[in-house]
């Protein structure tokens, strides 16, 4: 096979590619398995029985639907973004072995010794380090790529490299628009939930106005180099650490977007634990959300205080306002993500695997989500987000 011109590789082609392009296998017999369960790209595990790597490869359309015609450069951007974030948290990202500009693929470390966070949580696992580890990842990657710490010329150069119009458009549609309008008839709602969504989501003009403001911020605010899709399926964990993968939606956007995504998916995990009777885990998940926010707040302030390079920006009140705005945006994004995953495309198994409790759980999450979107400034009144969640419709009213 000729790898001097791009084509969409299958398992046979990937095996030959690995033999020719990856030195560590030394001509040994290889096994190749396509293990991708995402919506966009193809993910192959290549192994010679002793060593293994992951090869992530782009097609011209998204795996979820041929409607989404995308640049094959998205995998290249993903590899570059991992390299950029690895400057700050090398232990929390997979090692990039090579990036192939022609074949539109990235060869990276195989995280076979790690578990997917979503799966681990659904199995009832408790990970004591999770809150601090995620808070650290968020503070390092978001604050150090902001205008406070990253010199302006360097940031603008990286921003140019990380522009990601096609995948941003997917987010703009599937997160900020379609769940509230169903304008392309893609939303997937059970019959039991249909009237609730019609009244409280599609029929709420004030909710739509708040979402429009959030969408404008997503479209215009190049605050930090964000992951762009930081959910519990993009986080791998083991006893003493975690790795973040799949930043294919990454670009310079609002820093609160990543924080909000993490919060939303931990609420999905919490709802799953509650509905499944795992009370100890549910209590622990409450502490995780609180610990993420506390760690982010503390470490972000430290980074800003110690590393802001521009004398005009070295102001403690400005630091505090910046962190507060990120948190406010995070609450809104958490609400958007909760609604998107219940009403729109790309459901989460935390909810779809529920049976008798599913509809009531979805209504409770949607009610909570609306509060976050419409009243982010009121969140600070409460000692925990979970107090708002548990209050349900009574609190929103």
Q: Encode pLDDT of 131-161 as tens digits.
A: 999 999 999 999 999 999 999 999 999 999 9
pLDDT tens-digit map of 46-62? 999 889 999 999 999 87
Distance between alpha carbon 205 and the CA centroid of its chain, in Å?
28
Let me know: does 36 contact 42? Beta carbons within 8 Å.
yes
Give phi and psi for 109, each to the nearest 5. -55, 140
- Give, in order, the Cα–Cα distances in Å from 321 to each of 259, 292, 315, 327: 16, 19, 10, 10
3-state helix, strand, coil in the chain (%, to 5): 55, 10, 30
DSSP 147-207: TTTS-HHHHHHHHHHT--HHHHHHHHHHTTTHHHH-TTS-----HHHHHHHIIIIIT-HHH
Domains and their CATH numbers in the chain: 11-109 (3.30.200.20), 115-396 (3.90.1200.10)
Mean pLDDT of the chain: 95
pLDDT tens-digit map of 149-195? 999 999 999 999 999 999 999 999 999 999 999 999 999 999 999 99
Let me know: does 223 contact 253? Beta carbons within 8 Å.
yes
For 73, residues 6+ apart whose C-beta sits below 8 A from its C-beta are: 58, 104
For residue 395, pLDDT over 80 is answered with no
pLDDT band of residue 339 (cuts 50, 70, 90) is: very high
Let me know: does 187 contact 345? Beta carbons within 8 Å.
yes
Instruction: Provide, rounded to the nearest whole percent, the portion of the chain with pLDDT above 90.
Output: 89
List 130's β-bridge partners, or say none: none
Q: How far apart are CA 337 and CA 369, in angstroms?
A: 8
For residue 32, pLDDT over 90 is answered with yes
Per-residue pLDDT, averaged over 250-266, amounts to 98
For residue 387, pLDDT over 90 is answered with yes
For residue 27, pLDDT over 80 is answered with no
Strand order in the sheet with 241-244: 115-116, 235-238, 241-244
Q: How far apart are CA 133 and CA 312, in angstroms?
A: 31
For residue 397, pLDDT over 60 is answered with no
- Give, in order, the Cα–Cα distances in Å from 266 to each of 4, 219, 235, 270, 358: 43, 25, 12, 6, 17
Let me know: does 241 contact 91? Beta carbons within 8 Å.
yes
List 116's β-bridge partners, or say none: 236
Per-residue pLDDT, averaged over 323-330, amounts to 98
**CA contacts within 13 A on the Cβ side of 184:** 10
Phi-psi region of 392 (alpha: psi -120 to 50; beta: other; left: phi over 0): left
List 31's β-bridge partners, or say none: 47
Distance between alpha carbon 57 and the CA centroid of its chain, in Å?
19
pLDDT band of residue 396 (cuts 50, 70, 90) is: very low
List 46's β-bridge partners, or say none: 32, 53
pLDDT band of residue 201 (cuts 50, 70, 90) is: very high
Per-residue pLDDT, averaged over 300-310, amounts to 98
Cα dihedral 109, 110, 115, 116 in deg (nearest 10): 70
Burial class (CB in 10 A: 0-12, 13-18, 19+), 396: middle
- Give, in order, the Cα–Cα distances in Å from 83 to each of 103, 185, 240: 19, 38, 22
What DSSP designation does 295 have? H
User: What is residue 67's predicted lDDT score, i.e. its pLDDT?
Assistant: 75
SS3 state of residue 98: strand
Per-residue pLDDT, averaged over 226-230, amounts to 98
Let me know: does 344 contact 336? Beta carbons within 8 Å.
no
pLDDT tens-digit map of 93-140? 999 999 999 999 999 999 999 999 999 999 999 999 999 999 999 999
DSSP 229-261: ---TTSEEEETTEEEE---TT-EEE-THHHHHH
């Amino acid at each position: 096979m000729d790898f001097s011109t791009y084509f969409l590789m299958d398992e046979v082609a990937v095996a030959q590619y690995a033999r020719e392009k990856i030195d560590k296998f030394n001509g040994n017999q290889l096994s190749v398995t396509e293990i991708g369960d995402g919506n966009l790209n193809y993910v192959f595990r290549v192994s010679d029985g002793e060593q293994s790597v992951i090869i992530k490869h782009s097609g011209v359309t998204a795996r979820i639907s041929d409607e989404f015609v995308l640049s094959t450069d998205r995998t290249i951007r993903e590899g570059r973004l991992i390299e950029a974030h690895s400057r700050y948290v090398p232990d929390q990202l997979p090692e990039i072995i090579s990036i192939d500009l022609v074949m539109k693929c990235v060869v990276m470390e195989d995280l076979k010794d790690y578990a997917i966070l979503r799966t681990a949580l659904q199995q009832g696992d408790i990970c004591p380090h999770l809150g601090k580890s995620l808070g650290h990842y968020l503070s390092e990657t978001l604050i150090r790529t902001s205008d406070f710490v990253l010199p302006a010329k360097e940031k603008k150069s990286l921003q140019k490299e990380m522009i990601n119009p096609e995948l941003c458009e997917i987010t703009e549609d599937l997160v900020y628009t379609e769940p509230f309008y169903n304008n392309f008839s893609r939303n997937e709602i059970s019959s039991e939930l249909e009237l609730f969504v019609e009244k409280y989501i599609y029929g709420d003009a004030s909710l739509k106005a708040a979402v429009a403001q959030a969408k404008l911020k997503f479209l215009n605010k190049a605050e930090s180099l964000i992951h762009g899709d930081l959910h519990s399926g993009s986080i791998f964990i083991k006893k003493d650490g975690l790795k973040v993968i799949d930043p294919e939606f990454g670009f310079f956007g609002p820093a609160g977007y990543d924080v909000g995504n993490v919060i939303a998916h931990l609420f999905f995990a919490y709802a799953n634990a509650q509905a499944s009777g795992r009370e100890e885990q549910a209590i622990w998940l409450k502490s995780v959300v609180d610990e993420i926010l506390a760690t982010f707040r503390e470490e972000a302030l430290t980074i800003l205080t110690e590393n802001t390079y521009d004398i005009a920006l070295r102001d403690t009140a400005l630091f505090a306002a910046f962190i507060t705005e990120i948190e406010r945006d995070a609450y809104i994004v958490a609400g958007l993500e909760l609604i998107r995953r219940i009403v729109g495309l790309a459901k989460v198994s935390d909810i779809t695997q529920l049976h008798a409790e599913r509809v009531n759980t979805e209504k409770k999450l949607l009610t909570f989500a609306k509060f976050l979107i419409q009243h982010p400034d009121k969140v600070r009144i409460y000692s925990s987000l979970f107090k708002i969640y548990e209050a349900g419709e009574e609190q929103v009213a």
